[in-house]
Chain A
Amino acid sequence: MIRRFAGSAKCILFLGLLFPVLTYAKQEIVIYSARIESLIKPLFDDYSKKTGITIKFITAEAGPLLQRLQAEGSNTPADLLITVDAGNLWQAKQQGLLQPIDSKVLQENVPAHLRDPENYWFGLSVRARTVAYSTQRVKPSDLSTYQALAGPQWKGKLCLRTSKKVYNQSLVAMLIAEIGEAEAEKVVRGWVANLAAPVFSSDVQVLEAIAAGQCDIGLVNSYYFGRLLREKPALPVALFWPNQATSGVHVNVSGAGMTRYAKHPAAAKSLLEWLSSGEAQAIFASSNLEYPVNPRVPADASVAAWGTFKQNTHNLSQAGQLQAVAIRLMDRAGYH
């Protein structure tokens, strides 16, 4: 009997040559990432050089990655999950796919509103969703808040990206958290009434529509603006920071959490701590023209040129918690 098992063990070992069996080597961290390779690999390479630890990762959309973690259960090879929004991190925690990290370094480096209250996940870079306006047709003094974009003076002048994008779902979710569902619905209905064109499929298209004169204002993530500006320095579009007298600019994070069944928890924790501090923070944010989460690390010069702003400090976990409510609200309001 034992002999037969030994035989099948040999078989498995042989198959191992055909299939890349993932064995649990010591000096290694495995990552599932919704943040794309070109924005994480340079940092991982640095870290490997510094510490000798190999980092293996796979990139895909967040939804399927969560399903993958769930299907693998306790056998998952993944130690960390990286996403590009807080909603999916909240969902991963909700599904029991993450575990809390007790780390003084992370608590110090990541402001409270940009991490999970129970330390299941931490933001690593800040993405501001703000107002873009035509410098030819709009005076910044005409602008004030997200809510004011619903006013009748903007009829036929607003461009929005589709509500299917998680950035808009988070924005509306945070709006609900702040002013309540009924008020938020009025605002969204106002936006829809002001649309100059059917909603777009990307932020870049919104910016280009403003530049081309199809509309005067729009809502975009700041780094899309930065990218387009790098390419077309004469772009007649600028950013405005809304809600400065009140709640602050809506921000989201690209962040990470440790998987519940991480095989290398200590190594993964060290990597996260490293990512949240100093030089790594600067690179992590500036490689995509985002803002560092760590308040002690300055933003990239080209990003800093758009001015400083007050962030909305409601805890971002609400973006995940209220996401479904936000989607339903946008459905009712006819925001597709």
Chain B
Amino acid sequence: MRVIASDAGEIKLPVALPEIEPPMRIRRGRRVDLGWFAALAVSLLVLVPLLVVLGNLFSPDVAVWSQVSGWLPELLANTLWLLAGVVIGTVALGAGLAWLTTMCEFPGRRFFDWALVLPLALPAYVQGFVLVGLFDFAGPVQSFLRHAFGDGIWVPAIRSRGGLIAALSLSLYPYVYLLARNAFLTQSSRLMEVARSMGETAWGQFFRVSLPLARPWIAAGALLAGMETLADFGTVSVFNYETFTTAIYKAWFGLFSLPTAAQLASFLVLLALFVLSLESHQRKRQRYALSMRSPTVGRPIRLRGARAALAFGLATVILALAFVIPVTQLLLWSIHSGAADFDERFGGYLLNTLVSASAGAALIVAAALLLSRVKRKHGDIKTAAIVRIATLGYALPGTVLSVGIFIPLAWLDNHIIAAAKTALNMNVGALFAGSLFALLMAYGVRFMAVGFGTVDSAMQRISPRLEEVSLSLGVRGAAMLRRVHVPLLRGGLISAWLLAFVDIAKEMPITLLLRPFGWDNLSVRIFEMTSEGEWQRAALPALVLVIASLVPVILLIRGSGARK
């Protein structure tokens, strides 16, 4: 069952097929490919801050490193455990739930279809903090259990590796969910029909047809969750779990050794490269293009009785733990202590969040489209490396990256200021540092992976034949992008924009360091409160942030193919 011929043309299953066509590399004469150079520029924007940080490797701080190197085995073990746990957790939750809401019919499906994306709007560290507050010894759950069953009752510790993996999986599974959902929604229903006609059960269809066919999407989602885990500082701090990020903080801001922090950060970049190569390895030599005439909406598998109840129960529990309970807690805190903090400036915070996240996300989507297209057009290693570098900003902790971005900006400013002084005898201030322009660029550097992963996996649905046809009709370059790719990628582009929007809205360290004077947004407000341990007062800005992110989430789900 390798190639199925049908009236819809040929559909290829993801069993390793040999490449039939050579990778597209159409050069016309000596025409310069501007797109390639633009991709190179994007990649350099990311490379510079990375090099600024990693450049410290060349001036090692031997005394400090000799101490820090003793941490390495534990750091590595902790980080790998966490990474494996979160990847498995997010894939199980994300792909499983996406299958349920796209391919099955059960009570409440239409609601869960969009509601299960909601945890995306909640910053992971806020969620972690709420979960710890609820389930730790002093929290209401354990207090109730002690009250009901006596002091001797054993309850698994929330502040443990398992608890942290659970919290991060609950927070990050929407990345996988969103992408897997796109994959399932665009899978050909003919395949399901074939599978069914060959006697596959619902489980068989899931494990033997849908899941393998959705692999690049699921892997792209898992990759995002994995890189987010590697770079996470807030959540692991709440659980007091030692990873490379906490060690970087300790080396930098505790031992005041930037070189040692850079050495640790280089391990993190290596880990990210390792994860990236796993992801790209698994999709090698496989084709997932879809014949355009094939109907893409499968007939749902109708669940009844116990199985319907199970599906409903599972979706309810996950949604409750990942979203309803934490948000209810935020709501209670906001009512309790938020009224005093609510003032007319909140409108400004909200507006700043919305505008910067929208604009930043749009930049990211545009750049991601460019990168994905260039990567597809040039199948060579050089291009692949350029594209890969452009996504590495996601694996570094935000604080480290923020400093890496600030240093070259300040360098540039200092030269401009000096030039203005000598050439024009003019006193000018900093041009880039502390400008909104720099802030938006920094968001791009940080979150390119989010946009790229989403756009690139969607790109695989487009058959190279379409591009060939387009070329034969004389439509090429930007025109082809606009007239062929963009319309076909609509769902993927919207998902990418949404993911980037939400990530930027939640972003904290880069915003803190690079924002203009007097420019505050919601996440800055959250920082203001949490940095002094006032989590209850942080609830109000956090809640407004969740609500602000909900609007695009709901628009997205409404727009991207709720099943008719």
Are A and B physically bound partners?
A: yes
CB within 8 Å of B: which residues of A? 5, 9, 12, 15-16, 18-24, 30, 36-39, 56-65, 67-68, 71-73, 75, 77, 91, 94, 162, 164, 166, 169, 197-205, 208-209, 211-212, 214, 224, 227, 231, 288, 323-324, 327-328, 331, 336
**B427 touching A224, Cβ below 8 Å:** no
User: Does B239 belong to the interface (CB within 8 Å)?
Assistant: yes
Q: How far is the CB of A95 from chain B (nearest CB, A)?
A: 8
Interface residues on B, range: 35 or more
Q: What residues of chain A lie closer than 8 Å to B436, measured between beta carbons?
A: 19-20
Q: What residues of chain B lie closer than 8 Å to A71, measured between beta carbons?
A: 403, 406-407, 409-411, 433
CB within 8 Å of A: which residues of B? 64, 67, 70-71, 132, 136-138, 143, 157, 159, 237-240, 242, 246, 249-250, 252-256, 337, 341, 399, 402-403, 406-407, 409-411, 413-414, 416-417, 420, 423-424, 426-437, 509, 512-513, 515-518, 520, 524, 527-529, 531-536
Q: What residues of chain B lie closer than 8 Å to A5, measured between beta carbons?
A: 423-424
Using A56-B517, A77-B430, A164-B254 as known contacts, say yes or no to A203 and B411 having CB atoms under 8 A apart. Answer: no
Q: How far is the CB of A109 from chain B (nearest CB, A)?
A: 24
**B512 touching A60, Cβ below 8 Å:** yes
**A200 touching B427, Cβ below 8 Å:** no
Using A61-B399, A201-B237 as known contacts, say yes or no to A21 and B428 having CB atoms under 8 A apart. Answer: yes
**A19 touching B432, Cβ below 8 Å:** yes
Which 6 residue pairs spanning A and B have beta carbons closest together? A22-B429, A212-B138, A63-B253, A71-B410, A60-B512, A208-B138
**A75 touching B516, Cβ below 8 Å:** no
Contact of A201 among B238, B516, B524 (CB under 8 A): B238
**Cα separation A90 to B431 with both chains bound (whole Å):** 30
- Looking at A162, A164, A227, the one whose CB has the most chain B CB atoms below 10 A away is A164
**A199 touching B240, Cβ below 8 Å:** yes
Q: How far is the CB of A180 from chain B (nearest CB, A)?
A: 20
**Cα separation A201 to B533 with both chains bound (whole Å):** 10
Closest to B431 in A: A19
**B67 touching A331, Cβ below 8 Å:** yes
**A164 touching B429, Cβ below 8 Å:** no
Contact of A328 among B67, B414, B434, B512 (CB under 8 A): B67
In the complex, besides A22-B429, A30-B517, A209-B137, 10 extra interface pairs with C-beta distance below 8 angstroms are: A36-B528, A37-B528, A57-B517, A60-B513, A61-B531, A67-B406, A198-B159, A212-B143, A288-B532, A324-B255
Q: What residues of chain A lie closer than 8 Å to B512, measured between beta carbons?
A: 59-61, 64
**Cα separation A202 to B234 with both chains bound (whole Å):** 13
Q: How far is the CB of B438 from chain A (nearest CB, A)?
A: 8
**B528 touching A59, Cβ below 8 Å:** yes
What are some 12 contacts across the A-B interface (CB < 8 A)? Answer: A18-B435, A21-B428, A21-B430, A59-B524, A61-B509, A64-B399, A64-B512, A75-B429, A169-B254, A214-B138, A224-B533, A336-B240
**B403 touching A21, Cβ below 8 Å:** no
Contact of B137 among A39, A58, A197 (CB under 8 A): A197
**Cα separation A288 to B529 with both chains bound (whole Å):** 12
Closest to A203 in B: B533
**B399 touching A63, Cβ below 8 Å:** yes
**A64 touching B430, Cβ below 8 Å:** no
**Cα separation A162 to B254 with both chains bound (whole Å):** 13
**B137 touching A212, Cβ below 8 Å:** yes
Closest to B415 in A: A75
Q: What residues of chain A lie closer than 8 Å to B414, measured between beta carbons?
A: 72-73, 75
Q: What residues of chain A lie closer than 8 Å to B402, measured between beta carbons?
A: 64
Q: What residues of chain B lie closer than 8 Å to A204, measured between beta carbons?
A: 533, 535
**Cα separation A208 to B417 with both chains bound (whole Å):** 52
Using A59-B528, A75-B417 as known contacts, say yes or no to A67 and B246 having CB atoms under 8 A apart. Answer: no
**B417 touching A164, Cβ below 8 Å:** no
